[in-house]
Chain A
Protein backbone atom coordinates (compact mmCIF):
# COMPACT_ATOMS: atom_id res chain seq x y z
CA UNK A 1 0.00 0.00 0.00
CA UNK A 2 2.27 2.85 -1.19
CA UNK A 3 1.55 6.25 0.30
CA UNK A 4 0.03 8.66 -2.17
CA UNK A 5 1.82 11.62 -0.63
CA UNK A 6 5.43 12.43 0.08
CA UNK A 7 6.79 11.09 3.35
CA UNK A 8 6.96 13.77 6.02
CA UNK A 9 10.33 15.02 7.21
CA UNK A 10 11.37 14.07 10.76
CA UNK A 11 10.64 16.74 13.40
CA UNK A 12 14.34 17.60 13.74
CA UNK A 13 17.70 16.46 12.44
CA UNK A 14 18.26 14.44 15.61
CA UNK A 15 19.88 11.17 14.46
CA UNK A 16 17.51 9.11 16.56
CA UNK A 17 14.65 9.78 14.16
CA UNK A 18 16.53 7.59 11.67
CA UNK A 19 15.90 4.59 13.92
CA UNK A 20 12.20 5.36 14.03
CA UNK A 21 12.06 5.94 10.28
CA UNK A 22 13.87 2.67 9.53
CA UNK A 23 11.59 0.64 11.77
CA UNK A 24 8.54 2.03 9.97
CA UNK A 25 10.03 1.55 6.52
CA UNK A 26 10.88 -2.11 7.28
CA UNK A 27 7.20 -2.63 8.01
CA UNK A 28 6.18 -1.03 4.73
CA UNK A 29 5.08 2.30 6.29
CA UNK A 30 1.66 0.73 6.81
CA UNK A 31 -0.84 1.70 9.52
CA UNK A 32 -0.26 -1.69 11.16
CA UNK A 33 3.26 -0.48 12.05
CA UNK A 34 1.87 2.12 14.46
CA UNK A 35 2.61 0.36 17.75
CA UNK A 36 6.05 -0.79 16.64
CA UNK A 37 6.84 2.79 15.58
CA UNK A 38 5.74 4.15 18.95
CA UNK A 39 7.93 1.54 20.66
CA UNK A 40 10.87 2.66 18.51
CA UNK A 41 10.29 6.35 19.26
CA UNK A 42 9.94 5.74 22.99
CA UNK A 43 13.07 3.58 23.06
CA UNK A 44 14.97 6.36 21.29
CA UNK A 45 13.67 9.39 23.18
CA UNK A 46 12.39 7.99 26.46
CA UNK A 47 8.88 9.32 25.92
CA UNK A 48 6.47 10.33 23.16
CA UNK A 49 6.00 14.05 22.62
CA UNK A 50 3.54 15.62 20.22
CA UNK A 51 6.06 15.90 17.40
CA UNK A 52 6.78 12.17 17.64
CA UNK A 53 3.07 11.29 17.55
CA UNK A 54 2.48 13.53 14.54
CA UNK A 55 5.54 12.31 12.66
CA UNK A 56 4.67 8.65 13.14
CA UNK A 57 1.02 9.22 12.22
CA UNK A 58 1.84 11.23 9.09
CA UNK A 59 4.35 8.63 7.90
CA UNK A 60 1.97 5.73 8.35
CA UNK A 61 -1.12 7.56 7.16
CA UNK A 62 -2.87 7.27 10.52
CA UNK A 63 -4.98 10.24 11.74
CA UNK A 64 -3.50 12.08 14.74
CA UNK A 65 -6.59 11.30 16.78
CA UNK A 66 -6.01 7.56 16.35
CA UNK A 67 -2.30 7.84 17.10
CA UNK A 68 -3.17 9.65 20.30
CA UNK A 69 -5.85 7.08 21.07
CA UNK A 70 -3.39 4.22 20.72
CA UNK A 71 -0.57 5.95 22.63
CA UNK A 72 -2.85 6.61 25.58
CA UNK A 73 -4.51 3.17 25.52
CA UNK A 74 -1.31 1.26 26.22
CA UNK A 75 0.15 1.95 29.63
CA UNK A 76 3.67 1.17 28.42
CA UNK A 77 3.73 4.42 26.46
CA UNK A 78 4.38 7.66 28.26
CA UNK A 79 3.68 11.15 26.93
CA UNK A 80 5.71 12.91 29.62
CA UNK A 81 9.52 13.06 29.90
CA UNK A 82 10.93 10.62 32.44
CA UNK A 83 13.49 11.22 35.15
CA UNK A 84 17.13 10.29 34.63
CA UNK A 85 16.45 6.92 36.21
CA UNK A 86 13.31 4.85 36.35
CA UNK A 87 12.19 2.51 39.05
CA UNK A 88 9.31 0.14 38.32
CA UNK A 89 7.73 -1.60 41.29
CA UNK A 90 5.79 -4.77 40.56
CA UNK A 91 2.37 -4.72 42.20
CA UNK A 92 1.23 -8.11 40.94
CA UNK A 93 -0.31 -10.57 43.38
CA UNK A 94 2.84 -12.31 44.58
CA UNK A 95 4.82 -9.08 44.97
CA UNK A 96 1.87 -7.40 46.63
CA UNK A 97 1.60 -9.98 49.38
CA UNK A 98 5.36 -9.98 49.77
CA UNK A 99 5.72 -6.28 50.50
CA UNK A 100 5.34 -4.22 47.33
CA UNK A 101 3.08 -1.89 49.27
CA UNK A 102 5.78 -1.19 51.88
CA UNK A 103 8.21 -0.37 49.12
CA UNK A 104 5.84 2.15 47.60
CA UNK A 105 5.14 3.74 50.99
CA UNK A 106 8.88 3.86 51.69
CA UNK A 107 9.66 5.54 48.39
CA UNK A 108 6.88 8.03 48.88
CA UNK A 109 8.06 8.89 52.37
CA UNK A 110 11.78 9.12 51.59
CA UNK A 111 11.81 10.43 48.02
CA UNK A 112 8.45 12.17 47.91
CA UNK A 113 7.22 10.41 44.77
CA UNK A 114 4.06 8.56 44.04
CA UNK A 115 3.64 6.14 41.13
CA UNK A 116 3.74 7.92 37.75
CA UNK A 117 5.63 10.86 39.29
CA UNK A 118 9.20 12.09 38.99
CA UNK A 119 11.25 13.48 41.86
CA UNK A 120 11.53 17.28 42.00
CA UNK A 121 15.19 17.16 40.95
CA UNK A 122 14.23 15.19 37.84
CA UNK A 123 16.34 12.21 38.93
CA UNK A 124 13.94 9.35 39.50
CA UNK A 125 10.63 8.39 37.98
CA UNK A 126 8.51 5.92 39.88
CA UNK A 127 6.28 3.53 37.98
CA UNK A 128 4.30 0.45 38.83
CA UNK A 129 3.66 -2.61 36.69
CA UNK A 130 1.44 -5.60 36.79
CA UNK A 131 3.21 -8.90 37.18
CA UNK A 132 6.74 -8.90 35.84
CA UNK A 133 6.79 -12.69 35.84
CA UNK A 134 9.53 -12.72 38.45
CA UNK A 135 7.25 -13.84 41.25
CA UNK A 136 9.79 -16.18 42.70
CA UNK A 137 11.82 -13.05 43.49
CA UNK A 138 8.92 -11.17 45.00
CA UNK A 139 8.90 -8.35 45.73
CA UNK A 140 10.49 -7.44 42.42
CA UNK A 141 11.50 -4.05 41.02
CA UNK A 142 13.17 -2.96 37.80
CA UNK A 143 15.71 -0.17 38.09
CA UNK A 144 16.80 1.26 34.75
CA UNK A 145 15.78 -1.89 32.94
CA UNK A 146 17.49 -4.29 35.31
CA UNK A 147 15.39 -6.60 37.43
CA UNK A 148 16.12 -6.93 41.14
CA UNK A 149 14.46 -9.37 43.46
CA UNK A 150 13.64 -9.68 47.14
CA UNK A 151 14.23 -5.98 47.70
CA UNK A 152 13.52 -4.08 50.89
CA UNK A 153 12.29 -0.51 51.00
CA UNK A 154 15.32 0.70 52.94
CA UNK A 155 17.90 -0.84 50.57
CA UNK A 156 16.06 0.40 47.52
CA UNK A 157 15.82 3.96 48.81
CA UNK A 158 19.54 3.91 49.63
CA UNK A 159 20.41 2.61 46.17
CA UNK A 160 18.22 5.15 44.42
CA UNK A 161 19.58 8.02 46.49
CA UNK A 162 23.12 7.00 45.62
CA UNK A 163 22.41 7.20 41.89
Chain B
Protein backbone atom coordinates (compact mmCIF):
# COMPACT_ATOMS: atom_id res chain seq x y z
CA UNK B 1 0.00 0.00 0.00
CA UNK B 2 2.86 2.31 0.75
CA UNK B 3 4.01 2.26 -2.88
CA UNK B 4 0.84 3.94 -4.00
CA UNK B 5 1.16 7.56 -4.97
CA UNK B 6 -0.50 9.48 -2.21
CA UNK B 7 0.01 13.19 -2.59
CA UNK B 8 -1.83 14.94 -5.37
CA UNK B 9 0.55 15.47 -8.24
CA UNK B 10 0.77 19.15 -9.00
CA UNK B 11 3.49 20.04 -6.50
CA UNK B 12 5.83 21.65 -8.92
CA UNK B 13 8.39 23.04 -6.52
CA UNK B 14 8.79 19.67 -4.88
CA UNK B 15 9.84 18.40 -8.25
CA UNK B 16 12.18 21.34 -8.61
CA UNK B 17 13.82 20.63 -5.30
CA UNK B 18 13.94 16.91 -5.80
CA UNK B 19 16.11 17.36 -8.86
CA UNK B 20 18.82 18.86 -6.74
CA UNK B 21 18.08 17.01 -3.57
CA UNK B 22 19.66 13.57 -3.41
CA UNK B 23 21.09 13.03 0.05
CA UNK B 24 19.61 13.83 3.42
CA UNK B 25 17.87 17.14 4.00
CA UNK B 26 19.91 19.63 6.00
CA UNK B 27 17.53 22.57 5.89
CA UNK B 28 13.97 23.17 4.91
CA UNK B 29 11.96 26.21 3.91
CA UNK B 30 8.25 26.03 4.71
CA UNK B 31 6.14 28.45 2.70
CA UNK B 32 2.64 29.22 3.94
CA UNK B 33 0.15 28.52 1.19
CA UNK B 34 -3.12 29.04 2.99
CA UNK B 35 -5.62 31.40 1.40
CA UNK B 36 -4.53 34.55 3.14
CA UNK B 37 -0.92 34.16 2.09
CA UNK B 38 -1.88 32.78 -1.32
CA UNK B 39 -3.56 36.04 -2.18
CA UNK B 40 -0.28 37.77 -1.56
CA UNK B 41 1.73 35.68 -4.03
CA UNK B 42 2.88 32.92 -1.67
CA UNK B 43 2.79 30.38 -4.46
CA UNK B 44 5.21 32.45 -6.55
CA UNK B 45 7.47 32.63 -3.51
CA UNK B 46 7.54 28.84 -3.31
CA UNK B 47 8.39 28.46 -6.99
CA UNK B 48 11.04 31.17 -6.87
CA UNK B 49 12.62 29.74 -3.70
CA UNK B 50 12.84 26.31 -5.34
CA UNK B 51 14.56 27.80 -8.36
CA UNK B 52 16.90 29.97 -6.32
CA UNK B 53 17.90 27.00 -4.15
CA UNK B 54 18.67 25.01 -7.27
CA UNK B 55 20.67 27.90 -8.77
CA UNK B 56 22.69 28.18 -5.59
CA UNK B 57 23.47 24.46 -5.79
CA UNK B 58 21.80 23.73 -2.47
CA UNK B 59 21.27 20.02 -2.93
CA UNK B 60 20.32 19.35 0.67
CA UNK B 61 17.46 21.81 0.95
CA UNK B 62 13.76 21.09 0.70
CA UNK B 63 11.31 23.81 -0.21
CA UNK B 64 7.84 22.81 0.83
CA UNK B 65 4.34 24.24 0.70
CA UNK B 66 2.61 24.12 4.10
CA UNK B 67 -0.68 25.36 5.52
CA UNK B 68 -1.24 28.44 7.61
CA UNK B 69 1.76 29.45 9.72
CA UNK B 70 -0.66 31.34 11.91
CA UNK B 71 0.55 34.88 11.57
CA UNK B 72 -1.49 35.84 8.52
CA UNK B 73 -0.96 39.57 8.92
CA UNK B 74 2.69 39.28 7.95
CA UNK B 75 2.19 36.98 4.97
CA UNK B 76 3.56 35.59 2.80
CA UNK B 77 5.47 33.77 5.50
CA UNK B 78 8.46 31.47 5.17
CA UNK B 79 9.82 29.47 8.08
CA UNK B 80 13.07 27.57 8.43
CA UNK B 81 11.99 24.93 10.97
CA UNK B 82 15.57 23.90 11.82
CA UNK B 83 16.30 27.30 13.35
CA UNK B 84 12.83 28.67 13.91
CA UNK B 85 13.65 31.70 11.73
CA UNK B 86 10.52 33.30 10.35
CA UNK B 87 10.55 35.57 7.30
CA UNK B 88 7.56 37.81 6.82
CA UNK B 89 6.17 39.82 3.93
CA UNK B 90 8.36 37.86 1.56
CA UNK B 91 8.25 38.95 -2.07
CA UNK B 92 8.93 36.52 -4.91
CA UNK B 93 11.74 38.78 -6.18
CA UNK B 94 13.38 38.99 -2.78
CA UNK B 95 14.32 35.53 -1.57
CA UNK B 96 18.10 36.00 -1.31
CA UNK B 97 17.99 36.50 2.46
CA UNK B 98 16.23 33.16 2.87
CA UNK B 99 18.71 31.41 0.60
CA UNK B 100 21.59 32.82 2.68
CA UNK B 101 19.86 31.66 5.88
CA UNK B 102 19.35 28.21 4.38
CA UNK B 103 23.05 28.04 3.50
CA UNK B 104 23.95 28.89 7.09
CA UNK B 105 21.85 26.17 8.75
CA UNK B 106 24.06 23.73 10.66
CA UNK B 107 23.16 20.36 12.08
CA UNK B 108 23.83 21.61 15.57
CA UNK B 109 21.27 24.41 15.22
CA UNK B 110 18.41 24.34 17.63
CA UNK B 111 15.00 25.73 17.06
CA UNK B 112 14.78 29.08 18.80
CA UNK B 113 11.63 30.18 20.58
CA UNK B 114 9.61 32.48 18.37
CA UNK B 115 8.15 34.80 20.96
CA UNK B 116 4.88 34.99 22.82
CA UNK B 117 2.75 34.69 19.70
CA UNK B 118 3.86 31.09 19.31
CA UNK B 119 4.98 30.09 22.80
CA UNK B 120 1.73 30.82 24.66
CA UNK B 121 -0.22 28.55 22.39
CA UNK B 122 -1.04 24.88 22.72
CA UNK B 123 -1.78 23.24 19.41
CA UNK B 124 -4.06 20.23 19.16
CA UNK B 125 -6.52 20.69 16.29
CA UNK B 126 -3.86 22.82 14.60
CA UNK B 127 -0.84 20.70 15.58
CA UNK B 128 0.13 20.03 11.93
CA UNK B 129 -0.67 23.46 10.67
CA UNK B 130 2.34 24.96 8.99
CA UNK B 131 4.20 21.65 9.36
CA UNK B 132 2.65 19.45 6.65
CA UNK B 133 2.01 19.89 2.97
CA UNK B 134 -1.81 19.93 3.01
CA UNK B 135 -1.98 17.82 -0.13
CA UNK B 136 0.51 15.17 0.97
CA UNK B 137 -0.80 12.09 2.72
CA UNK B 138 2.81 11.01 3.30
CA UNK B 139 3.46 14.17 5.28
CA UNK B 140 0.35 13.59 7.35
CA UNK B 141 1.23 9.96 8.03
CA UNK B 142 4.77 10.95 8.99
CA UNK B 143 3.30 13.10 11.75
CA UNK B 144 1.30 10.18 13.23
CA UNK B 145 -1.64 10.70 10.87
CA UNK B 146 -4.08 7.78 10.68
CA UNK B 147 -2.51 6.08 13.70
CA UNK B 148 -5.65 6.84 15.69
CA UNK B 149 -8.00 5.41 13.05
CA UNK B 150 -5.88 2.29 12.61
CA UNK B 151 -5.76 1.68 16.35
CA UNK B 152 -9.49 2.28 16.71
CA UNK B 153 -10.35 -0.15 13.93
CA UNK B 154 -7.86 -2.83 14.94
CA UNK B 155 -7.96 -2.74 18.71
CA UNK B 156 -11.08 -0.98 19.94
CA UNK B 157 -14.84 -1.43 19.86
CA UNK B 158 -17.15 1.41 18.85
CA UNK B 159 -18.22 1.69 22.47
CA UNK B 160 -14.63 2.07 23.64
CA UNK B 161 -14.00 4.85 21.11
CA UNK B 162 -17.08 6.68 22.34
CA UNK B 163 -15.94 6.27 25.93
CA UNK B 164 -12.61 7.91 25.18
CA UNK B 165 -14.35 10.86 23.53
CA UNK B 166 -16.79 11.16 26.43
CA UNK B 167 -14.05 11.01 29.06
CA UNK B 168 -11.93 13.57 27.20
CA UNK B 169 -14.60 16.17 27.97
CA UNK B 170 -14.60 17.46 24.38
CA UNK B 171 -17.56 19.70 23.61
CA UNK B 172 -18.77 20.90 20.24
CA UNK B 173 -16.60 23.65 18.81
CA UNK B 174 -19.38 24.93 16.52
CA UNK B 175 -20.72 27.20 19.23
CA UNK B 176 -23.24 25.49 21.46
CA UNK B 177 -20.71 23.31 23.27
CA UNK B 178 -22.80 20.16 23.40
CA UNK B 179 -20.77 17.24 24.83
CA UNK B 180 -19.41 15.38 21.82
CA UNK B 181 -19.30 11.93 23.42
CA UNK B 182 -22.95 12.21 24.45
CA UNK B 183 -23.99 13.17 20.93
CA UNK B 184 -22.03 10.23 19.46
CA UNK B 185 -23.70 7.85 21.89
CA UNK B 186 -27.17 9.10 20.98
CA UNK B 187 -26.49 8.50 17.28
CA UNK B 188 -24.92 5.10 17.92
CA UNK B 189 -27.93 3.97 19.94
CA UNK B 190 -30.60 5.49 17.66
CA UNK B 191 -32.75 2.99 15.81
CA UNK B 192 -32.00 2.52 12.11
CA UNK B 193 -29.44 0.81 9.92
CA UNK B 194 -28.49 3.74 7.69
CA UNK B 195 -26.65 6.49 9.60
CA UNK B 196 -24.74 9.53 8.42
CA UNK B 197 -21.86 11.69 9.60
CA UNK B 198 -21.80 15.35 8.58
CA UNK B 199 -19.00 17.83 9.01
CA UNK B 200 -20.26 21.38 9.37
CA UNK B 201 -17.79 23.54 7.43
CA UNK B 202 -20.18 26.38 6.67
CA UNK B 203 -18.39 28.80 9.02
CA UNK B 204 -20.61 31.78 8.55
CA UNK B 205 -19.59 34.07 11.39
CA UNK B 206 -17.80 37.18 10.15
CA UNK B 207 -14.25 37.33 11.40
CA UNK B 208 -14.04 33.59 11.92
CA UNK B 209 -11.67 31.66 9.74
CA UNK B 210 -10.60 28.86 12.09
CA UNK B 211 -12.35 26.12 10.20
CA UNK B 212 -11.08 27.40 6.89
CA UNK B 213 -7.48 27.36 8.10
CA UNK B 214 -7.83 23.81 9.39
CA UNK B 215 -9.33 22.64 6.09
CA UNK B 216 -6.71 24.40 4.01
CA UNK B 217 -3.76 23.42 6.17
CA UNK B 218 -4.51 19.88 7.35
CA UNK B 219 -7.52 18.40 5.54
CA UNK B 220 -6.59 14.76 6.28
CA UNK B 221 -7.12 15.38 10.00
CA UNK B 222 -10.77 16.22 9.38
CA UNK B 223 -11.21 13.13 7.20
CA UNK B 224 -9.61 10.95 9.87
CA UNK B 225 -11.77 12.47 12.62
CA UNK B 226 -14.89 11.82 10.56
CA UNK B 227 -13.87 8.21 9.84
CA UNK B 228 -13.30 7.57 13.55
CA UNK B 229 -16.70 9.11 14.30
CA UNK B 230 -18.35 6.98 11.62
CA UNK B 231 -16.87 3.85 13.17
CA UNK B 232 -18.03 4.95 16.60
CA UNK B 233 -21.64 5.64 15.55
CA UNK B 234 -21.95 2.90 12.86
CA UNK B 235 -22.26 5.23 9.87
CA UNK B 236 -21.08 4.39 6.36
CA UNK B 237 -21.62 7.66 4.53
CA UNK B 238 -20.34 11.11 5.30
CA UNK B 239 -20.76 14.62 3.96
CA UNK B 240 -18.68 17.74 4.35
CA UNK B 241 -20.84 20.82 3.90
CA UNK B 242 -18.41 23.58 2.94
CA UNK B 243 -18.99 27.18 1.96
CA UNK B 244 -18.60 27.86 -1.76
CA UNK B 245 -16.71 31.01 -0.75
CA UNK B 246 -13.79 28.80 0.33
CA UNK B 247 -12.54 27.48 -3.04
CA UNK B 248 -9.05 26.62 -1.76
CA UNK B 249 -10.46 24.64 1.16
CA UNK B 250 -12.75 22.76 -1.22
CA UNK B 251 -9.90 21.99 -3.62
CA UNK B 252 -7.67 20.70 -0.82
CA UNK B 253 -10.50 18.58 0.59
CA UNK B 254 -11.15 17.05 -2.82
CA UNK B 255 -7.48 16.27 -3.23
CA UNK B 256 -7.28 14.78 0.27
CA UNK B 257 -10.37 12.64 -0.27
CA UNK B 258 -8.89 11.20 -3.50
CA UNK B 259 -5.57 10.43 -1.78
CA UNK B 260 -7.28 8.84 1.22
CA UNK B 261 -9.43 6.70 -1.08
CA UNK B 262 -6.41 5.53 -3.04
CA UNK B 263 -4.51 4.64 0.12
CA UNK B 264 -7.44 2.75 1.61
CA UNK B 265 -8.34 5.24 4.34
CA UNK B 266 -11.75 5.90 2.76
CA UNK B 267 -13.98 3.54 0.82
CA UNK B 268 -14.40 -0.16 1.45
CA UNK B 269 -12.33 -2.27 3.84
CA UNK B 270 -10.58 0.69 5.41
CA UNK B 271 -7.09 -0.08 6.70
CA UNK B 272 -7.69 -3.73 5.76
CA UNK B 273 -10.64 -4.17 8.12
CA UNK B 274 -14.32 -4.75 7.36
CA UNK B 275 -15.12 -1.08 8.02
CA UNK B 276 -16.56 0.91 5.08
CA UNK B 277 -16.98 4.66 4.97
CA UNK B 278 -16.85 7.29 2.26
CA UNK B 279 -17.17 11.07 2.16
CA UNK B 280 -18.75 13.46 -0.32
CA UNK B 281 -18.47 17.24 -0.45
CA UNK B 282 -21.50 19.49 -0.69
CA UNK B 283 -21.13 23.17 -1.44
CA UNK B 284 -23.05 25.81 0.42
CA UNK B 285 -24.47 28.62 -1.65
CA UNK B 286 -24.30 31.75 0.41
CA UNK B 287 -26.97 31.42 3.09
CA UNK B 288 -25.76 32.18 6.61
CA UNK B 289 -28.56 30.18 8.18
CA UNK B 290 -27.24 26.96 6.61
CA UNK B 291 -24.65 26.77 9.38
CA UNK B 292 -27.55 25.81 11.65
CA UNK B 293 -27.71 22.04 11.62
CA UNK B 294 -31.30 21.43 10.57
CA UNK B 295 -31.05 24.02 7.79
CA UNK B 296 -27.76 22.48 6.68
CA UNK B 297 -29.41 19.07 6.42
CA UNK B 298 -32.21 20.52 4.28
CA UNK B 299 -29.57 22.02 2.05
CA UNK B 300 -27.76 18.69 1.57
CA UNK B 301 -31.15 17.25 0.63
CA UNK B 302 -31.29 19.86 -2.15
CA UNK B 303 -33.87 22.08 -0.49
CA UNK B 304 -34.05 25.64 0.78
CA UNK B 305 -32.11 25.90 4.00
CA UNK B 306 -34.94 26.57 6.41
CA UNK B 307 -34.34 25.52 10.00
CA UNK B 308 -36.95 23.34 11.60
CA UNK B 309 -37.82 23.04 15.26
CA UNK B 310 -36.03 20.37 17.29
CA UNK B 311 -36.75 17.72 18.55
CA UNK B 312 -36.42 15.47 16.77
CA UNK B 313 -32.72 16.14 16.91
CA UNK B 314 -30.61 15.16 13.89
CA UNK B 315 -29.00 12.51 16.10
CA UNK B 316 -32.33 10.70 16.00
CA UNK B 317 -33.79 11.87 12.69
CA UNK B 318 -31.54 13.92 10.43
CA UNK B 319 -30.39 13.55 6.85
CA UNK B 320 -33.03 11.69 4.78
CA UNK B 321 -34.74 11.07 8.16
CA UNK B 322 -31.89 8.84 9.34
CA UNK B 323 -29.86 9.25 12.55
CA UNK B 324 -27.15 11.77 11.74
CA UNK B 325 -24.07 12.88 13.62
CA UNK B 326 -23.24 16.50 12.86
CA UNK B 327 -20.10 18.10 14.26
CA UNK B 328 -18.01 21.13 13.53
CA UNK B 329 -14.65 21.03 11.66
CA UNK B 330 -12.63 21.80 14.76
CA UNK B 331 -14.47 19.14 16.78
CA UNK B 332 -13.56 16.48 14.22
CA UNK B 333 -10.02 17.85 13.94
CA UNK B 334 -9.48 17.33 17.67
CA UNK B 335 -10.47 13.66 17.58
CA UNK B 336 -7.33 12.00 16.12
CA UNK B 337 -5.10 13.64 18.73
CA UNK B 338 -7.47 12.81 21.57
CA UNK B 339 -7.46 9.14 20.58
CA UNK B 340 -3.72 9.07 20.13
CA UNK B 341 -2.80 10.85 23.34
CA UNK B 342 -5.70 9.65 25.46
CA UNK B 343 -8.74 11.05 27.22
CA UNK B 344 -6.79 11.82 30.39
CA UNK B 345 -4.24 13.90 28.55
CA UNK B 346 -6.94 16.01 26.91
CA UNK B 347 -9.16 16.40 29.94
CA UNK B 348 -6.19 17.59 32.00
CA UNK B 349 -6.15 20.75 29.86
CA UNK B 350 -8.74 23.43 30.45
CA UNK B 351 -10.95 24.93 33.12
CA UNK B 352 -14.24 23.84 34.71
CA UNK B 353 -16.52 22.15 32.24
CA UNK B 354 -14.53 23.47 29.27
CA UNK B 355 -11.76 20.97 28.60
CA UNK B 356 -9.01 21.01 26.01
CA UNK B 357 -8.05 23.81 23.67
CA UNK B 358 -9.86 26.26 21.44
CA UNK B 359 -8.82 27.81 18.15
CA UNK B 360 -9.44 31.53 17.75
CA UNK B 361 -9.14 33.74 14.71
CA UNK B 362 -7.78 37.15 15.61
CA UNK B 363 -9.06 39.80 13.26
CA UNK B 364 -9.92 43.47 13.15
CA UNK B 365 -7.89 46.18 14.91
CA UNK B 366 -5.25 43.96 16.43
CA UNK B 367 -1.50 43.82 15.73
CA UNK B 368 -1.17 40.10 15.02
CA UNK B 369 -4.14 38.99 12.99
CA UNK B 370 -4.02 35.29 12.49
CA UNK B 371 -4.90 31.96 13.94
CA UNK B 372 -4.18 30.85 17.49
CA UNK B 373 -5.00 27.84 19.63
CA UNK B 374 -4.93 28.14 23.41
CA UNK B 375 -5.97 26.05 26.42
CA UNK B 376 -9.47 26.81 27.67
CA UNK B 377 -9.05 29.09 30.63
CA UNK B 378 -6.51 31.39 28.98
CA UNK B 379 -7.48 35.00 29.71
CA UNK B 380 -8.68 37.40 27.05
CA UNK B 381 -5.79 39.66 28.04
CA UNK B 382 -3.25 36.95 27.23
CA UNK B 383 -4.93 36.26 23.90
CA UNK B 384 -5.23 39.90 22.89
CA UNK B 385 -2.00 41.33 24.30
CA UNK B 386 0.55 38.52 24.70
CA UNK B 387 -0.42 36.59 21.61
CA UNK B 388 -2.29 39.20 19.60
CA UNK B 389 0.29 41.93 20.26
CA UNK B 390 -2.35 44.40 21.43
CA UNK B 391 -4.02 47.19 19.52
CA UNK B 392 -2.09 48.96 16.73
CA UNK B 393 -0.42 52.30 17.52
CA UNK B 394 -0.79 51.63 21.23
CA UNK B 395 -4.37 52.77 21.20
CA UNK B 396 -6.62 51.71 24.09
CA UNK B 397 -8.57 48.51 23.95
CA UNK B 398 -12.32 49.06 23.64
CA UNK B 399 -14.02 45.72 23.17
CA UNK B 400 -13.64 42.26 21.73
CA UNK B 401 -16.36 40.49 19.82
CA UNK B 402 -16.64 36.72 20.11
CA UNK B 403 -19.02 34.14 18.78
CA UNK B 404 -20.27 35.95 15.68
CA UNK B 405 -23.81 37.31 15.45
CA UNK B 406 -24.97 34.96 18.21
CA UNK B 407 -22.23 36.35 20.43
CA UNK B 408 -21.56 39.79 21.76
CA UNK B 409 -18.99 42.45 22.56
CA UNK B 410 -16.94 42.18 25.72
CA UNK B 411 -15.65 45.48 27.12
CA UNK B 412 -12.23 46.22 28.63
CA UNK B 413 -13.10 45.60 32.30
CA UNK B 414 -13.55 41.90 31.53
CA UNK B 415 -10.11 41.40 29.98
CA UNK B 416 -9.05 39.06 32.77
CA UNK B 417 -11.90 36.65 32.08
CA UNK B 418 -10.66 33.14 31.49
CA UNK B 419 -12.28 31.95 28.28
CA UNK B 420 -14.65 29.02 28.53
CA UNK B 421 -18.15 28.25 27.26
CA UNK B 422 -19.54 29.27 30.65
CA UNK B 423 -17.60 32.50 31.17
CA UNK B 424 -18.45 33.86 27.72
CA UNK B 425 -22.14 33.10 28.13
CA UNK B 426 -22.05 34.77 31.54
CA UNK B 427 -20.77 37.92 29.82
CA UNK B 428 -23.66 37.73 27.36
CA UNK B 429 -21.46 36.48 24.56
CA UNK B 430 -20.69 33.12 23.00
CA UNK B 431 -17.70 30.95 22.11
Contact = CB atoms under 8 A, between A and B. Distances in A.
B282 interface: yes
By size class, the interface of chain B is 35 or more
Interface in B242-287: 243-247, 282-287
B365 A97 contact: yes
Interface residues of A, number: 40
A93 B285 contact: no
Given A129-B286, A134-B39, A135-B206, 17 more contacts: A31-B301, A60-B302, A62-B302, A66-B303, A73-B287, A74-B304, A76-B286, A77-B286, A93-B401, A131-B206, A133-B245, A135-B207, A136-B75, A136-B209, A137-B40, A148-B39, A149-B40
B364 A133 contact: no
Interface in A67-83: 69-70, 73-77
Contacts of A75: 285-287
Interface string A125-144: 00001111111111010000
A148 B299 CA distance: 30
Contacts of A147: 35, 38-39
Contacts of B244: 39, 76
B203 A70 contact: no
Nearest to A140: B39
A129 B207 contact: no
Interface of B: 35-36, 38-40, 72-73, 75, 203-209, 212, 243-247, 282-288, 299-305, 320, 361, 363-365, 369-370, 401
B364 A93 contact: yes
Nearest to A73: B304
Contacts of B243: 133
B364 A135 contact: yes
Given A34-B302, A35-B302, A39-B244, A131 B283 contact: no
A94 B364 CA distance: 5
Nearest to B302: A34
Contact of B247 (A34, A70, A73, A145): A145
